[in-house]
Amino acid sequence: MSAEFSHKLRVYIEDTDAGGIVYYVNYLKFMERARTEFMRSLGFGKNSIFNYNLMFVVREVAVTYMLPARLDDELEATASIARLRGAGIVFHQSVRRGDELLAQGEVTIACVDRAEMKPRRLPPEMAARLQLTQQAEA
C-alpha cells in the first residue's frame, strides 16, 4: 500500500482570480479532494463514514504557498498520514505541478459523532487501515 495518495486535477476558471492565478483558498479545496479520495480508496467513502455515524471536521490548517498555479494547469494533490490520534488524523498534504511544489501543509481532522458533534475515537477498522498507510511511509 502506498504511503502517499495522489489525486490529479485541472485548474478551471472558477478556481482562479481575475489574473488567472489560483485563488489561495482553492488549494484547500484541492487538498480536501485528495483526502476524500484517499479515504475512498481505503473503503471509507462518505456513505461508509456516515454509516459509522461520524463525520470528519477540519480542526487546524497550516499551509505554505511557494508557487502559483494557473488556469488550465494539470495538478496533483497528495495526502499522507502524518499522525494518528484517538479521535483525529493529521494529514501531510501538497499540491504539485509536475516536479514543482506549489503548496504544502498539514491539516488536522477531528472525528466527531454526527448527532452530538463531540469528539469520537476512530472506529478500530478505520484506524487499522490508516495505520497501515502510515507504516508504509516509514
Query: Which one is predicted more confidently, 82 or 1?
Result: 82
Please give the positions annotated as active site.
17
Nearest residue to 2 via CA among 100, 78, 63, 106: 78
Residue 3: per-residue pLDDT: 82
Q: pTM of the full predicted structure?
A: 0.91
Domain 5-137 classified CATH 3.10.129.10? yes
**CB 72: neighbour CB atoms within 10 A?**
12
pLDDT, the chain, mean: 93
H helix intervals, 8-118: 25-41, 46-51
Domain-by-domain residue ranges, the chain? 5-137
pLDDT tens-digit series, residues 82-133: 999 999 999 999 999 999 999 999 999 999 999 999 999 999 999 999 998 8
